[in-house]
Amino acid sequence: MSNNRHDEAERYATAARKSMSHVAFEVFKSPSPCLNEDRFDEDFFAQRGSEDVRTFNLEQVLTILTMMDKDILIPIIEGTLPQRVRADLSQAMRNEIKQPDTIPGIYINYIVDKNGRHPTKADILAILDAMQDYINEFDDGVKVFSRVIDFLFKPKDPQGLKYCENPSQKAGAELFIEGMRDRLSSEPNGPLRGGISEVGFSINISSRLANHYKHQSSNKVMTLFDACAMHLFVDRYSIQGYPVVRIVSPHAVDMAECLISRLPSSYVLWGWGFNANQAGASVQGVNSLKILQAAADSKGKNSWATIEAEASTSGITGERAVVEQRIKDSREEMADIIEEHGATLDANLAAQRRYHRQFKRLRQLASDEDDDQE
């Protein structure tokens, strides 16, 4: 039986509709209660959810979540963000994009059409065939189809395969292809539910997203998929990315990337995403001299200390209000249940007392009859 991405997404989305705290606790559940196998990042979160470090990591995750717009978080989980930003979330995303290069953050990429719709099942199957044809030439001396694909985006004359430079990248693409074929076997026709995402960190999100779009220093599985889609369906699909959360501390960067990678299931395993490597392992941007030294460049870069000091606490305030309301509601619900059970217990106790009184009268009556017979 295939692992179902929709069950995993619904688990997180249900938690997010309650509070960010619920999401944090769901994130650290290991193994997942709705999957048959370990996830790509199972060890990472299992280790950080162990008893001796659990509290610290829960606090980190809550800090990250409370920096997010809840209206953006749920579409990230469900994979509906590309369409939602063109509709009811357009203002929320404009607010997020407003100053993209002043604060580092986490972004998410999708491959979608101009309306934000994910590729269809039929199109993906054709793209997978093209991807397989491409990586089949990894060990071949003669490059034919791969040259066609490699010439679609600059630079157009790579030494080897642009999207498959080493065995590790080849293995990542193969894992994605195999997983996606299995995923599609239980999917209906039409746009892929939940889509396919890629998550990353950058201190300059807008320029990083532009690089992904142009296939420069980008994710190899995602860009190979995009190039094959361009070859088969010219300009039907493209990489589209969005900033989703700002990071106010260098100490939270790796956890933030891992968290946002887990929530939308962005790893190649089972064909759920484009990430072929564990998130959080390549966040060298935190060491940028511009941000460490607070160089006042043309883009207004601030230091980590300034970013943290000026960070908004509205998310924390909002989460506290949600939690307090849920505590109040839970207490009222418990009081109603206790009252109902209390009335039942009182009635039961009264019935037992009546029974005992009647039992005592019967015993007395039996004793009197014995005396009369004597």
Pairwise CA distance, residues 323 & 281, whole Å:
33
Got the DSSP string for 247-313? ---GGGHHHHHHHHHHTTT-BTGGGSBSB-S-TTS--GGGG-HHHHTT---TT----HHHHHHT---
Q: What residue ranges do the domains of the chain occupy? A: 80-309, 313-374
211 within 8 A of 153, measured Cβ to Cβ: no
The predicted structure's pLDDT at residue 365: 78
Long-range own/partner contacts, residues 209-218 (CB < 8 A, 24 or more apart): 209/107, 209/109, 209/241, 209/242, 209/243, 212/109, 212/239, 212/241, 213/238, 213/239, 213/240, 213/241, 214/153, 214/154, 215/153, 215/154, 215/162, 216/154
Local confidence pLDDT in tens for the 374 residues of the chain: 467 899 999 999 999 999 999 999 999 999 999 998 999 999 999 999 998 899 999 999 999 999 888 899 999 999 999 999 999 988 888 877 776 577 888 999 999 999 999 999 999 999 999 999 999 999 887 789 999 999 999 876 667 889 999 999 999 999 999 999 999 999 999 999 999 999 999 988 999 999 999 999 999 999 999 999 999 999 999 999 999 998 878 888 899 999 999 999 999 999 999 999 999 877 666 666 566 555 444 455 566 666 766 677 677 777 777 778 877 877 878 877 787 777 788 888 888 888 888 888 887 777 766 666 66
The neighbour count for residue 193, using CB atoms within 10 Å, is 16
Pairwise CA distance, residues 314 & 21, whole Å:
15
Nearest residue to 228 (alpha-carbon basis) of 289, 301, 177: 177
Percent helix, percent strand, percent coil in the chain, to nearest 5:
55, 5, 35
Model pTM score: 0.82
For the record, the structure tokens of 362 come out as: 């019967």
The predicted structure's pLDDT at residue 14: 96
311 within 8 A of 207, measured Cβ to Cβ: no
The predicted structure's pLDDT at residue 285: 63
